[in-house]
Chains A and B, each alone.
Chain A
């Protein structure tokens, strides 16, 4: 007999305190300072005198239950059975006994996890779902990230950067990956290819028309069937029509490219938060390891590492040296596409004689 359906319990967001390490519960809101004994480890000291060492480790993010249980085993063995996850999907273990720090690190590294990601390191790349699960992806975020972290692993494990570097990826131009010091995002270069036989049945046409940022979509009749057409001269190839109307296929094995953006910074530290700016495009979407994208990211990181001052994030660094020097230092071409033409674009022009020679 079928089980009787019950109404859901609308409990919402669970109380975190029930799963919190006891030293954190005890000292909640009473922390005094922290330091950074070594890459991957933070020490926080409370007003009570209690100290907590946090060991941070990177994982594959898409966890299978075996890996999740392995992470739990390590938590049981060294960290009193408590963990937490960071916004960039790293796992953190808290210990109150300094003597447990090194064995905990050894256990994590012994199982293939990567200890690091603190302070002025290259943090774990935050990413989206990609071909593994998304309905509109132009690429596979998990694969790009795995291939890239293989090459940046020493920068995750060490703190050799002027300040922290947050890298993000996004598999379409909606940019769920968000803003980053460096962002690797899908960039479509051709208008959608429309299957006119399907549009009328699959798409709510007025809402697709409304979704276009540049009003390039209009109702049409093709072969006697109601459908939609795109003014290809107006189309900016953003792909916004594709999610509400899958017959307007935007993804293309050749013409879906990657673009690289820099200088996104969420923090209010020093300068106000900033959005990322385009620096490179036309990068091949080249599975399984996307070597061209990684090469550009490494080039940008090297220029930043060589030239930026301590505590400068990438946006702070470029603010100081100016964009011409950025393109010179990275060897990336500057093109007409770098000059913005979206709303408010005039604010991005240089209305002064402030010019570096």
Chain B
């Protein structure tokens, strides 16, 4: 690329100043230093269009229909509205590629992906987009297929785009975190890989996201961002290593301990005893994680681990932000049967929503519209007081089936007692 063919980018150049790494400098490297002329040209016109956006404060990409042979989704098509001025980047599609569970990579596989991508694409990539995909940003319509074929041969597959099951996310979890209460990687892959057809061929009311966090710190933001959030937890007593605890109190002092741990417990279930040991009212512990986060050397999750499942989280469009709410307060995830059960819950949820959701209606919005009791009946899950913050406040409801419902509750209680032996 000769200097005179380069677009002037006075505004973007401002983003090369300052100490944080600059994405503009990276795109310029592709323009100026990459051995492939195609990439030089794409990077140059991309910079030109972006500068035009900065000057006019508007975006110039429009969508369209691009996919690969055999699939209906997975690509974010982008055609330039100013392609005549910037022809080499006029087709600039993103491929959404599912990352390995937990976002682990060997440098070998990253290099292999980089090699494939510079062969067919722009050379720009993000690990990862907000849904969790590897975003290969910038391929022409024709090269989209070539790039996919190449990476598909060595084990990578497209994620979701459009009204479909989307790429899932899971935290680092058991790979490196002592708070992990579940096999996040296995849950992630079991769920999303059960729905590959629904990932690749968009035919649902709208998007459906699974996210898996190994503990209630919820590093994957699943309650606020996933239609089905699976979060590790435990139901026996948390573990207290009293020697490590006392060492902490001795090091930090009682006032620090009271101000930062004891009084921060949301259910006031902790007490610092006169001998500096810790007493926990485990029946009232809500597994908020705060004390475990502050003193991980002394406090840990219990042994009877499993997951809580919340459903219905989503962002603003259309009825406003919704959080997921409890659907399954606790279930074990040890045996293959347990994994079959969680898969069944996901299947019955997606089936019910596919049947009853309106076009462009997220699962949580459907629940809001029809009421959670109708949703629970639809997916075959019994009501449970863990699902609510408070019972009903309004008397304006017809309750002539009360006696039957009360009988059901006592029957379920009896079943649970006999199951527990």
> Residues of A at under 8 Å CB distance from B?
5-21, 24-25, 28-29, 31-35, 44, 52, 54, 58-69, 71-73, 75-76, 81-87, 89, 91, 94, 112-114, 126, 128-140, 142-143, 146-147, 149-151, 153, 173-179, 207, 210-211, 213, 238, 240, 246, 251-253, 256, 264, 266-271, 273, 275, 285, 287-289, 309-311, 342-343
Contacts of A139 in B (CB 8 A): 57
A29 to B178, CA, bound (A): 7
Q: Is the CB of B101 within 8 A of A14?
A: yes
Among B134-163, those with CB < 8 Å from A are 137-138, 148-149, 152-153, 155-158
**Interface: B246 (CB within 8 A):** no
A146 to B19, CA, bound (A): 9
**Interface: B344 (CB within 8 A):** no
CB-contact partner of B56 in A6, A132, A253, under 8 A: A253
Query: Residue of A at shortest CB range from B169?
Result: A87
Extra 14 A-B pairs, beta carbons < 8 Å, given A13-B189, A14-B156, A269-B290 = A13-B193, A15-B185, A16-B100, A31-B177, A44-B176, A65-B34, A94-B176, A133-B137, A134-B59, A153-B19, A266-B221, A266-B224, A269-B289, A289-B15
Please, how many residues of chain B have a CB less than 8 angstroms from a CB on the other chain? 131
**Interface: B336 (CB within 8 A):** no
A133 to B108, CA, bound (A): 28
Contacts of A69 in B (CB 8 A): 111, 114
Q: Rank and list the top 3 A-B pairs by shortest CB-CB distance, nearest first.
A: A150-B18, A64-B26, A253-B57
Q: Is the CB of A64 within 8 A of B123?
A: yes
A-B contact pairs, 15 of them (CB 8 A): A11-B156, A14-B98, A14-B100, A17-B185, A24-B104, A65-B117, A68-B125, A87-B219, A114-B21, A140-B53, A173-B317, A175-B321, A178-B225, A210-B360, A266-B225
Contacts of B128 in A (CB 8 A): 85, 89
Contacts of B200 in A (CB 8 A): 8, 10
A75 to B110, CA, bound (A): 11
Is chain A's interface secondary structure helix, strand, loop, or mixed overall?
A: loop
Contacts of A29 in B (CB 8 A): 174, 180, 183
CB distance from A246 to the nearest CB of B (A): 6
Q: Is the CB of B125 within 8 A of A63?
A: yes
Query: Residue of A at shortest CB range from B183?
Result: A29
Query: Residue of B at shortest CB range from A168?
Result: B130
Among B161-199, those with CB < 8 Å from A are 167-169, 171-172, 174-178, 180, 183, 185, 188-189, 192-193, 196-197, 199
Contacts of B316 in A (CB 8 A): 173-175, 238
A138 to B106, CA, bound (A): 37
Q: Is the CB of A267 within 8 A of B217?
A: yes
Chain B 9-36 interface mask (CB, 8 Å, partner A; 1/0): 0011011011111111111011001100
Query: Residue of A at shortest CB range from B109?
Result: A19
